[in-house]
Amino acid sequence: MGSEFLLKRPVMGRFAQTCLSLCLLAGLGTSAFAANPIVTAKNRFRIPFKVDPAALQRMNAQELRLYVSSDQGSTWNMAQTISPEIGKFEYQSPGDGEFWFSVKTLDGDNQLQPNGRVFEPGLMVIVDTREPRVDLSLQEISQGKVQLSWHLHDQNLDPSTLKLEYSQPGASGWQTVSVAPRATGQTTWSVPQGGIVAVRGSVLDRAGNSGRGTVQST
């Protein structure tokens, strides 16, 4: 089915509340509040929820409705309707983007709780299926000295995962290029024996997508 997210937010107004926290299952990480979106490479996932059975009974709850917004809360559309005992929603995004989710309960009087015009996001998910782009440039700036420049492109980049390595005459295998992990930068080093230098780089985004790039001196 893909990823699974746990929705723990108020879904029944003053009648019943659940814990004000979010958990991301399936080993993708955790998030404490809806204000911190979960980033995933999966576009299909489950959204379990926890509610108070006694409160549902007092309300004579008929159904739970999942609403989704793809424009940061400007507009909301109903995505799914389920019976309270099912315990989870299922959602497939139409593509990459940021999706906000809110849950309402239809009570025994056919009234939505919270009020039908009020939407409070209980879960925010960023679907990102694209690999980061790693642009590398390598040039000889003086005899026996090269300069490497890099530029990483991704909306949800995790610069801390940047890894740069080089191979050159006189060096054993691939050696680490020690740099500060950031989206853009440059560094220089010496090539005492001259010859062709090769560099490879990789980085992850917060969804776990991996981007790679290579370059060599001419």
CATH of the domain at 196: 2.60.40.10
For residue 213, how far is the Cα from the chain centroid?
22
74-90: average pLDDT: 91
Q: Which domain-ending residue is among 67, 96, 127?
A: 127
Quick check: 201 and 163 in contact, CB under 8 A? yes
Choose between 194 and 175: higher pLDDT.
175
- 18-22, 70-74, 121-125, 188-192: segment of lowest average pLDDT: 18-22
On whether both 60 and 138 belong to a single domain, the answer is: no
Average pLDDT on 12-39 reads 40
Whether 99 contacts 88, CB under 8 Å = no
From the list 34, 23, 22, 25, the residue with the least C-alpha distance to 2 is 25
For residues 103 and 69, state if they share a domain. yes
Q: What is residue 13's predicted lDDT score, i.e. its pLDDT? A: 35
Distance between CA 18 and CA 202 in Å, rounded?
41
Mapping DSSP to helix (H, G, I), strand (E, B) and coil, where does residue 126 land? Answer: strand
Element (H, E) at 57: helix 53-59
Q: What secondary structure letter does DSSP report for 49? A: B
Question: Using CA atoms, how far apart are residues 207 and 42, in angstroms rounded to an integer?
Answer: 8
Mark which of 78, 107, 127 sits at the end of a domain.
127
The kind and range of the H/E element at 204 are strand 198-205
Closest among 39, 213, 65 to 136, alpha carbons compared = 213
pLDDT digits (tens, 9 = 90+) for 10-21: 333 332 222 222
How many separate domains does the chain show?
2
**Shared-domain flag, residues 58 and 158:** no
Q: Is 179 found in the same domain as 142?
A: yes
Sign of the alpha-carbon torsion through 188, 189, 195, 200: negative
Contact 26, 4 (CB under 8 A): yes
Q: Which domain holds residue 197?
A: 133-216
Reading the block at residue 150, the tokens are 């890099």
> Cβ of 14: how many Cβ atoms within 10 Å?
9
The residue out of 110, 127, 144 marking a domain boundary is 127
pLDDT at 162 over 60: yes
- Is 8 found in the same domain as 53? yes
- Do 99 and 157 fall into the same domain? no
User: What's the whole-number average pLDDT of the chain?
Assistant: 83
In this structure, what CATH number is given to the domain that contains residue 76? Answer: 2.60.40
Q: Do residues 94 and 147 both lie within one domain?
A: no
Q: Based on the fold, state whether residues 118 and 148 are members of the same structural domain.
A: no
Say whether both 15 and 117 belong to one domain: yes
The verdict on 33 and 89 lying in the same domain is yes
**Residue 218 predicted with pLDDT over 50:** yes
Residues 57 and 142 in one domain: no
Same domain? For 158 and 116 the reply is: no
Q: First and final CA of the chain: distance in angstroms?
A: 48
pLDDT for 2 equals: 57
CB atoms within 10 A of CB 43: 19
